[in-house]
A = this chain, B = another copy of it.
Amino acid sequence: MLDLAAIIEARQRIAALVHRTPLLSSTSLGDLLGGIRLHLKAELFQRTGSFKPRGVANKLLSLSDEEKRRGFIAISRGNHAQALAYAATRIGQRATIVMAADAVPAKVQATRAYGGEVVLTDEDIWPLCQRLMRERGLTLVHPFDDDVVMAGQGTIGLELLEDLDDFDTVVVPIGGGGLIAGIATAVKAVRPTVRVIGVEAEASDAMRRALAAGHSVTMEGRRTVADGINAPYAGERCLLIVERLVDDVITVSEDEILAGLRLLVERSKLAAEPAAATPIAALLAGKLKTRPHERVVAVISGGNLDLGLLGRLG
Protein backbone atom coordinates (compact mmCIF):
# COMPACT_ATOMS: atom_id res chain seq x y z
CA MET A 1 0.00 0.00 0.00
CA LEU A 2 1.12 3.55 -0.83
CA ASP A 3 2.82 5.29 2.09
CA LEU A 4 4.54 8.56 2.97
CA ALA A 5 8.00 7.13 2.34
CA ALA A 6 7.14 6.33 -1.28
CA ILE A 7 5.93 9.90 -1.80
CA ILE A 8 9.09 11.40 -0.30
CA GLU A 9 11.11 9.13 -2.55
CA ALA A 10 9.00 10.19 -5.55
CA ARG A 11 9.76 13.80 -4.86
CA GLN A 12 13.50 13.35 -5.21
CA ARG A 13 13.01 11.23 -8.30
CA ILE A 14 10.81 13.63 -10.26
CA ALA A 15 12.30 16.96 -9.17
CA ALA A 16 14.11 17.67 -12.44
CA LEU A 17 11.03 16.99 -14.57
CA VAL A 18 8.30 18.92 -12.75
CA HIS A 19 7.72 22.34 -11.21
CA ARG A 20 7.19 22.99 -7.55
CA THR A 21 3.97 24.95 -8.11
CA PRO A 22 3.05 28.08 -6.15
CA LEU A 23 0.39 28.19 -3.44
CA LEU A 24 -1.66 31.33 -4.05
CA SER A 25 -4.18 32.98 -1.79
CA SER A 26 -7.27 34.88 -2.85
CA THR A 27 -8.77 37.16 -0.24
CA SER A 28 -11.72 38.25 -2.36
CA LEU A 29 -12.62 34.70 -3.32
CA GLY A 30 -12.31 33.52 0.29
CA ASP A 31 -14.52 36.38 1.45
CA LEU A 32 -17.17 35.49 -1.13
CA LEU A 33 -17.10 31.83 -0.08
CA GLY A 34 -18.13 32.48 3.51
CA GLY A 35 -15.11 34.25 4.94
CA ILE A 36 -12.72 31.32 4.68
CA ARG A 37 -8.96 31.70 4.30
CA LEU A 38 -8.58 30.22 0.87
CA HIS A 39 -5.37 28.95 -0.68
CA LEU A 40 -5.11 27.73 -4.26
CA LYS A 41 -2.53 25.10 -5.15
CA ALA A 42 -1.78 26.20 -8.70
CA GLU A 43 -1.18 22.91 -10.50
CA LEU A 44 -2.37 24.54 -13.70
CA PHE A 45 1.13 26.06 -13.76
CA GLN A 46 2.61 22.56 -13.73
CA ARG A 47 4.42 21.42 -16.88
CA THR A 48 1.91 20.52 -19.64
CA GLY A 49 -0.77 22.47 -17.73
CA SER A 50 -1.91 19.86 -15.21
CA PHE A 51 -0.68 17.82 -12.21
CA LYS A 52 -0.36 14.67 -14.34
CA PRO A 53 3.41 14.77 -15.05
CA ARG A 54 4.13 14.20 -11.35
CA GLY A 55 2.72 10.68 -11.39
CA VAL A 56 3.87 9.85 -14.89
CA ALA A 57 7.44 10.97 -14.23
CA ASN A 58 7.57 8.87 -11.08
CA LYS A 59 6.36 5.85 -13.02
CA LEU A 60 8.77 6.21 -15.94
CA LEU A 61 11.78 6.85 -13.72
CA SER A 62 10.92 3.78 -11.60
CA LEU A 63 11.12 1.39 -14.57
CA SER A 64 14.19 -0.61 -15.58
CA ASP A 65 16.52 0.67 -18.30
CA GLU A 66 15.26 -2.12 -20.56
CA GLU A 67 11.63 -1.11 -20.02
CA LYS A 68 12.48 2.54 -20.61
CA ARG A 69 14.27 1.66 -23.81
CA ARG A 70 11.24 -0.23 -25.17
CA GLY A 71 8.93 2.70 -24.53
CA PHE A 72 5.56 3.47 -22.97
CA ILE A 73 1.91 3.47 -23.93
CA ALA A 74 -1.26 5.00 -22.54
CA ILE A 75 -4.89 5.42 -23.44
CA SER A 76 -5.85 9.06 -22.95
CA ARG A 77 -7.44 11.88 -24.84
CA GLY A 78 -6.51 14.56 -22.35
CA ASN A 79 -4.00 15.67 -19.73
CA HIS A 80 -2.48 12.21 -19.17
CA ALA A 81 -1.60 11.98 -22.88
CA GLN A 82 0.32 15.26 -22.79
CA ALA A 83 2.02 14.36 -19.51
CA LEU A 84 3.25 11.00 -20.83
CA ALA A 85 4.48 12.52 -24.10
CA TYR A 86 6.30 15.25 -22.19
CA ALA A 87 7.94 13.01 -19.57
CA ALA A 88 8.99 10.33 -22.08
CA THR A 89 10.57 12.93 -24.37
CA ARG A 90 12.38 14.54 -21.43
CA ILE A 91 14.08 11.25 -20.56
CA GLY A 92 14.86 10.55 -24.22
CA GLN A 93 12.33 7.76 -24.73
CA ARG A 94 9.22 7.17 -26.85
CA ALA A 95 5.58 7.36 -25.84
CA THR A 96 2.63 5.96 -27.79
CA ILE A 97 -0.80 7.33 -26.95
CA VAL A 98 -3.96 5.68 -28.22
CA MET A 99 -6.99 7.92 -28.70
CA ALA A 100 -10.44 7.47 -30.20
CA ALA A 101 -10.68 8.97 -33.68
CA ASP A 102 -13.06 11.68 -32.43
CA ALA A 103 -10.49 13.13 -29.98
CA VAL A 104 -10.28 16.94 -29.90
CA PRO A 105 -7.77 17.96 -32.62
CA ALA A 106 -6.10 20.49 -30.30
CA LYS A 107 -5.37 17.72 -27.76
CA VAL A 108 -3.94 15.45 -30.46
CA GLN A 109 -1.75 18.30 -31.67
CA ALA A 110 -0.59 19.20 -28.14
CA THR A 111 0.38 15.57 -27.46
CA ARG A 112 2.35 15.40 -30.69
CA ALA A 113 4.00 18.74 -29.93
CA TYR A 114 5.37 17.20 -26.70
CA GLY A 115 6.87 14.43 -28.82
CA GLY A 116 4.27 11.69 -28.36
CA GLU A 117 3.17 9.29 -31.11
CA VAL A 118 -0.62 9.47 -31.30
CA VAL A 119 -2.50 6.46 -32.68
CA LEU A 120 -6.08 7.35 -33.60
CA THR A 121 -8.51 4.49 -33.96
CA ASP A 122 -12.13 3.68 -34.67
CA GLU A 123 -11.64 0.21 -33.17
CA ASP A 124 -12.10 -0.74 -29.53
CA ILE A 125 -9.25 1.00 -27.79
CA TRP A 126 -8.20 -1.50 -25.16
CA PRO A 127 -7.57 -4.48 -27.52
CA LEU A 128 -5.56 -2.20 -29.80
CA CYS A 129 -3.52 -0.98 -26.85
CA GLN A 130 -2.84 -4.57 -25.76
CA ARG A 131 -1.73 -5.50 -29.25
CA LEU A 132 0.71 -2.57 -29.38
CA MET A 133 2.07 -3.51 -25.95
CA ARG A 134 2.68 -7.06 -27.16
CA GLU A 135 4.14 -6.19 -30.55
CA ARG A 136 6.39 -3.38 -29.36
CA GLY A 137 7.08 -4.47 -25.77
CA LEU A 138 5.64 -1.21 -24.45
CA THR A 139 4.89 -0.61 -20.77
CA LEU A 140 1.40 0.64 -19.95
CA VAL A 141 1.30 3.85 -17.89
CA HIS A 142 -2.07 3.95 -16.18
CA PRO A 143 -3.42 7.44 -15.47
CA PHE A 144 -4.37 6.68 -11.85
CA ASP A 145 -4.71 3.06 -10.70
CA ASP A 146 -1.05 2.49 -9.87
CA ASP A 147 0.69 3.10 -6.53
CA VAL A 148 3.74 4.55 -8.27
CA VAL A 149 1.62 7.07 -10.18
CA MET A 150 -0.29 7.95 -7.00
CA ALA A 151 3.00 8.50 -5.16
CA GLY A 152 3.92 11.13 -7.74
CA GLN A 153 0.62 12.95 -7.33
CA GLY A 154 1.14 12.78 -3.56
CA THR A 155 4.11 15.14 -3.85
CA ILE A 156 1.49 17.92 -4.02
CA GLY A 157 0.59 17.00 -0.44
CA LEU A 158 4.22 17.35 0.67
CA GLU A 159 4.39 20.81 -0.84
CA LEU A 160 1.22 21.86 0.98
CA LEU A 161 2.61 20.62 4.29
CA GLU A 162 5.73 22.72 3.73
CA ASP A 163 4.03 25.86 2.43
CA LEU A 164 1.38 26.18 5.15
CA ASP A 165 2.12 26.08 8.86
CA ASP A 166 -1.29 24.59 9.36
CA PHE A 167 -4.56 24.20 7.52
CA ASP A 168 -7.97 22.67 8.21
CA THR A 169 -9.24 21.28 4.92
CA VAL A 170 -7.92 20.32 1.49
CA VAL A 171 -10.39 19.93 -1.38
CA VAL A 172 -9.39 17.83 -4.38
CA PRO A 173 -11.08 17.04 -7.73
CA ILE A 174 -11.71 13.31 -8.28
CA GLY A 175 -11.63 11.53 -11.63
CA GLY A 176 -10.21 8.04 -11.20
CA GLY A 177 -8.99 8.96 -7.72
CA GLY A 178 -5.20 8.97 -8.13
CA LEU A 179 -4.73 12.63 -7.21
CA ILE A 180 -6.72 12.51 -4.00
CA ALA A 181 -5.24 9.13 -2.98
CA GLY A 182 -1.73 10.56 -3.22
CA ILE A 183 -2.54 13.82 -1.46
CA ALA A 184 -4.54 12.12 1.31
CA THR A 185 -1.70 9.68 1.99
CA ALA A 186 0.82 12.49 2.42
CA VAL A 187 -1.38 14.87 4.38
CA LYS A 188 -2.99 12.38 6.78
CA ALA A 189 0.38 10.80 7.61
CA VAL A 190 1.69 14.12 8.90
CA ARG A 191 -1.47 15.97 10.02
CA PRO A 192 -4.24 13.41 10.61
CA THR A 193 -6.74 16.07 11.71
CA VAL A 194 -6.77 17.85 8.33
CA ARG A 195 -10.03 17.13 6.47
CA VAL A 196 -9.50 15.70 2.99
CA ILE A 197 -12.56 16.23 0.77
CA GLY A 198 -13.03 14.96 -2.77
CA VAL A 199 -15.29 16.52 -5.39
CA GLU A 200 -16.55 14.80 -8.50
CA ALA A 201 -19.03 15.63 -11.25
CA GLU A 202 -22.55 14.38 -10.51
CA ALA A 203 -22.71 13.44 -14.21
CA SER A 204 -19.63 11.20 -13.89
CA ASP A 205 -19.58 9.97 -10.28
CA ALA A 206 -17.43 6.86 -10.51
CA MET A 207 -15.95 7.23 -7.02
CA ARG A 208 -19.27 7.72 -5.27
CA ARG A 209 -20.59 4.61 -6.99
CA ALA A 210 -17.47 2.65 -6.11
CA LEU A 211 -17.74 3.70 -2.46
CA ALA A 212 -21.39 2.60 -2.39
CA ALA A 213 -20.66 -0.74 -4.08
CA GLY A 214 -17.42 -1.43 -2.22
CA HIS A 215 -15.63 -1.98 -5.53
CA SER A 216 -14.95 -0.14 -8.78
CA VAL A 217 -17.92 0.10 -11.17
CA THR A 218 -17.42 0.82 -14.89
CA MET A 219 -19.76 3.32 -16.51
CA GLU A 220 -19.97 3.86 -20.25
CA GLY A 221 -20.66 7.03 -22.17
CA ARG A 222 -21.07 9.46 -19.29
CA ARG A 223 -20.16 13.05 -20.08
CA THR A 224 -19.32 16.14 -18.07
CA VAL A 225 -18.05 19.58 -18.99
CA ALA A 226 -15.25 18.74 -16.53
CA ASP A 227 -13.51 16.46 -19.04
CA GLY A 228 -10.38 16.32 -16.86
CA ILE A 229 -12.23 14.18 -14.30
CA ASN A 230 -14.45 12.19 -16.64
CA ALA A 231 -13.04 8.76 -15.72
CA PRO A 232 -15.05 5.65 -16.70
CA TYR A 233 -14.24 3.98 -13.35
CA ALA A 234 -12.52 4.67 -10.05
CA GLY A 235 -9.17 2.96 -9.56
CA GLU A 236 -9.32 -0.11 -7.30
CA ARG A 237 -6.05 0.92 -5.63
CA CYS A 238 -7.32 4.49 -5.32
CA LEU A 239 -10.60 3.31 -3.81
CA LEU A 240 -8.79 1.46 -1.00
CA ILE A 241 -7.10 4.71 0.01
CA VAL A 242 -10.18 6.90 -0.41
CA GLU A 243 -12.22 4.53 1.80
CA ARG A 244 -9.58 4.72 4.51
CA LEU A 245 -8.41 8.36 4.40
CA VAL A 246 -10.88 10.66 2.64
CA ASP A 247 -13.42 12.33 4.91
CA ASP A 248 -16.11 12.97 2.31
CA VAL A 249 -16.80 12.84 -1.43
CA ILE A 250 -19.14 15.54 -2.74
CA THR A 251 -20.74 15.71 -6.19
CA VAL A 252 -21.49 18.90 -8.11
CA SER A 253 -23.85 19.47 -11.03
CA GLU A 254 -22.81 20.79 -14.44
CA ASP A 255 -24.29 24.21 -13.62
CA GLU A 256 -22.46 24.29 -10.30
CA ILE A 257 -19.18 23.48 -12.04
CA LEU A 258 -19.66 26.30 -14.55
CA ALA A 259 -20.61 28.78 -11.81
CA GLY A 260 -17.51 27.73 -9.85
CA LEU A 261 -15.34 28.10 -12.93
CA ARG A 262 -16.65 31.56 -13.67
CA LEU A 263 -16.06 32.73 -10.10
CA LEU A 264 -12.60 31.19 -10.02
CA VAL A 265 -11.47 32.80 -13.28
CA GLU A 266 -12.95 36.20 -12.46
CA ARG A 267 -11.64 36.39 -8.92
CA SER A 268 -8.39 34.46 -8.96
CA LYS A 269 -7.39 35.38 -12.56
CA LEU A 270 -6.41 31.76 -13.16
CA ALA A 271 -7.34 30.27 -16.54
CA ALA A 272 -8.41 26.98 -14.93
CA GLU A 273 -10.18 24.10 -16.62
CA PRO A 274 -13.65 23.01 -15.43
CA ALA A 275 -12.35 19.97 -13.50
CA ALA A 276 -10.05 22.28 -11.54
CA ALA A 277 -12.98 24.45 -10.52
CA THR A 278 -14.93 21.64 -8.82
CA PRO A 279 -13.56 22.46 -5.33
CA ILE A 280 -14.72 26.07 -5.76
CA ALA A 281 -18.05 24.79 -7.14
CA ALA A 282 -18.60 22.68 -4.01
CA LEU A 283 -17.85 25.66 -1.77
CA LEU A 284 -20.00 28.06 -3.81
CA ALA A 285 -22.95 25.66 -3.89
CA GLY A 286 -22.80 25.32 -0.09
CA LYS A 287 -22.25 21.57 -0.43
CA LEU A 288 -18.94 21.73 1.41
CA LYS A 289 -19.63 23.20 4.83
CA THR A 290 -16.99 25.46 6.31
CA ARG A 291 -16.77 27.81 9.27
CA PRO A 292 -15.56 31.42 9.05
CA HIS A 293 -11.76 31.74 8.97
CA GLU A 294 -11.36 28.05 8.17
CA ARG A 295 -8.07 27.51 6.33
CA VAL A 296 -9.01 25.74 3.11
CA VAL A 297 -6.74 24.60 0.27
CA ALA A 298 -8.36 24.02 -3.13
CA VAL A 299 -6.25 22.03 -5.57
CA ILE A 300 -6.53 23.75 -8.95
CA SER A 301 -5.63 20.65 -10.89
CA GLY A 302 -5.18 21.94 -14.45
CA GLY A 303 -5.66 24.65 -17.02
CA ASN A 304 -6.09 22.90 -20.36
CA LEU A 305 -9.35 24.45 -21.39
CA ASP A 306 -11.22 25.42 -24.49
CA LEU A 307 -11.23 29.22 -24.55
CA GLY A 308 -14.61 29.11 -26.24
CA LEU A 309 -16.06 27.65 -23.05
CA LEU A 310 -14.91 30.64 -21.01
CA GLY A 311 -16.55 32.91 -23.54
CA ARG A 312 -19.89 31.20 -23.01
CA LEU A 313 -19.60 31.96 -19.28
CA GLY A 314 -19.14 35.70 -19.90
Query: Does A252 have its Cβ within 8 Å of any Cβ on chain B?
Result: no
Please report which residues of chain A, range 252-267, place their CB below 8 angstroms from some CB of chain B when the two chains form the complex: 262, 265-266
Q: State which residues 42-57 of A face B: CB under 8 Å.
A: 44-45, 47, 49
A228 to chain B, nearest CB (A): 13
Cβ of A100 within 8 Å of any chain B Cβ, yes or no, is no
Contacts of A266 in B (CB 8 A): 271, 307
B303 touches A307 (CB 8 A): no
Question: Are A269 and B313 neighbours in the complex by a CB distance under 8 Å?
Answer: no
Can you list 28 pairs linking A and B with CB atoms under 8 Å apart? Answer: A22-B24, A27-B47, A45-B269, A49-B269, A262-B307, A265-B271, A265-B307, A266-B271, A266-B307, A269-B270, A269-B272, A270-B270, A270-B271, A271-B310, A306-B314, A307-B310, A307-B311, A307-B313, A307-B314, A308-B314, A309-B311, A309-B314, A310-B310, A310-B311, A310-B314, A311-B311, A311-B312, A311-B314
**Would you list which residues of chain A between 78 and 99 have a CB under 8 Å from chain B?**
none
A206 to chain B, nearest CB (A): 26
Compute how far the CA of A135 lies from the CA of B288 in the bound complex, rounded to whole angstroms. 50
* CB-CB nearest 8 A-B residue pairs: A311-B311, A307-B314, A308-B314, A269-B303, A44-B269, A310-B310, A271-B271, A269-B271
